[in-house]
Amino acid sequence: MTAAAVVDDLVRQLGIVAIVPTGNSRPADYMPTIDESATHSYPEILNGDGRSGLLDPGSSLLSLTVGGVTDAVASGGQSGRETLGRLPMGQPGWPSPITRRGPGPGDAIKPEVVEGAGTLGVEHGHLVSNDPELGVVGARAKSGGLLSWDVGTSFAVPLVSRVAAAIAARFPDFTAELIRALVLLSASRIEFADNFEGGRADCLKAERSLLGYGRPSIARAIESSSHRAILVANDVVPINGVHIYEIPVPSTFMETGGERGIDISLAYSPPTRVRRLDYMASRMEFHLVKGLPVEEVVRVFAEVQGEDLDDESEGDGTRPTTPSQLGSHLVKLEPGTEARSRGANQLGRRAFRKRLDPERDSPMFLVVRNVNRWDDDGATQPYSLAVSLWRDEQQAELHAELEAQLEAVAELPVEIEIEV
């Protein structure tokens, strides 16, 4: 049994949050030449190298896997030595040259999040790994001082762990799945797709394989603000079941000016089996639907069978009902359902640059589906949701309005439960 499978088993049995690194790569292994051009060409080469995939247990699906980014803006931490010829690999916010790429098993988005892991330098055609200016400062494990520095994704893990620990300290009753969901919800996307060549979809996929959903933040994980409200839910859905939540749409979403948006994260811990093509017993997904009465939403999802594959068809030539057939009533989230639902830690985002229309865009429902793979027919699956509604700081506040609508802004009750 792999270490990743052991981690997944422990996560499920003990109800813990596991945070693991992608493992480290060596630029000398994937870079054809080490020269000045390597300082900006390495991300695309790293992403395309077949030897730079996740190291065990980084492929654990029920854990949060952490990749590395660089924060260095210059080199030259060595005293008493001329370093004008030394260049750091990458720029602040770029993937670290020592990180590893996803995806995870079954093309799941891995790593989910990233943090500072340091970088390396290039000087006269050689890699430099002994420059403190390029590393990550942390507690010293050996005697002789309180602090030390190094480079590696293992140094990014504690920075993400402290976000999870802050959530647990602030909300001690929250489940491990809800802590994972809030860590994801706090992640700010690192926009790196423009640094890759190819179509937009391929570039975004490459960005996710190195940077996941982005960089998490303690403040965004544990606090709402006047312009950003967090809603959470814990529930248990039956196999092939559907839960429908109504999302309150604040009035400022209907006003002109600025941006507004919604971020949704989901985390669950299904049974896993190493010796199966489908590693997880079930596959959960979520959809955001707008401008339809709840009765119509229930009707559509009661008829949905299997997974939402656009090219699926019945033997008689008819096509089964799928969420995509909702057309403009289905809000497109980034990344799409097919990409994010391959993992046990999911995040979907949507920013609206134009005001919403009260007639066309409300009410709004969040639909959660649990699609069976190989679990028992009578099985159930616990899961956690976290939703943030946000608005530009220069626009009208939304938190007070939502607080007036809900008994507690942090609680999002399930409205409808159906089994298909």
Map out the domains of the chain as residue ranges. Answer: 3-211, 224-419
Give the pLDDT confidence score for residue 317 in this predicted structure: 46
The 10s digit of each residue's pLDDT in 179-231 is: 999 999 999 999 999 999 999 999 999 999 999 999 999 999 999 999 999 99
Q: What percent of the chain has pLDDT over 70?
A: 89
Please count the other Cβ atoms lying within 10 Å of the Cβ belonging to residue 293.
10
pLDDT exceeds 80 at position 409: no
pLDDT exceeds 80 at position 328: yes
Give the pLDDT confidence score for residue 420 in this predicted structure: 60
Give the pLDDT confidence score for residue 146 in this predicted structure: 78
Residue type at 285 in one-letter notation = E
Give the pLDDT confidence score for residue 309 in this predicted structure: 43
Burial class from Cβ neighbours inside 10 Å (0-12, 13-18, 19+) for residue 52 reads buried
| Three-state secondary structure of the chain | CCHHHHHHHHHHHHCCCCEEECCCCCHHHHCCCCCCCHHHHHHHHHHHCCCCECCCCCCCCCCEEEEEECCCCCCCCCCCCCCCCEEECCCCCCECCCCCECCCHHHCCCCCEEEECCCCEEECCEEECCCHHHCEEEECCCCCCCEEEECCHHHCHHHHHHHHHHHHHHCCCCCHHHHHHHHHHCCECCCCHHHCCCCHHHHHHHHHHHHCCCECCHHHHHCCECCEEEEEEEEEEECCEEEEEEECCCHHHHCCCCCEEEEEEEEECCCECCCCCCCECEEEEEEEEECCCHHHHHHHHHHCCCCCCCCCCCCCCCCCCCHHHHHHHEECCECCHHHHCCCCEEEEEEEECCCCCCCCCCCEEEEEEEEECCCCCCCEEEEEEEEEEEECCCCCCCHHHHHHHCCCCCECCCCEEEEC
Section 141-149 average pLDDT: 73
Section 87-116 average pLDDT: 95
The 10s digit of each residue's pLDDT in 22-43 is: 999 999 999 999 988 999 999 9
Give the pLDDT confidence score for residue 132 in this predicted structure: 84
Q: Are 99 and 68 in contact (CB under 8 A)?
A: yes
Give the pLDDT confidence score for residue 75 in this predicted structure: 57
Query: Among candidates 332, 336, 345, 341, which has minimal Cα distance to 266?
Result: 345
Residue 311's pLDDT band (cuts 50, 70, 90): very low
Give the pLDDT confidence score for residue 303 in this predicted structure: 85
CA distance 109 to 112: 6
The 10s digit of each residue's pLDDT in 317-326 is: 455 678 878 8
Give the pLDDT confidence score for residue 312 in this predicted structure: 40
Burial class from Cβ neighbours inside 10 Å (0-12, 13-18, 19+) for residue 207 reads buried
CA distance 159 to 111: 15
pLDDT exceeds 60 at position 144: yes
Which range (110-119, 272-281, 354-363) has the least confidence? 272-281
Residue type at 155 in one-letter notation = F
Residue 149's pLDDT band (cuts 50, 70, 90): confident
DSSP 65: E
pLDDT exceeds 90 at position 135: no
> Is pLDDT larger for residue 322 or for residue 8?
8
Query: Among candidates 157, 98, 84, which has minimal Cα distance to 129?
Result: 98
CA distance 290 to 298: 13
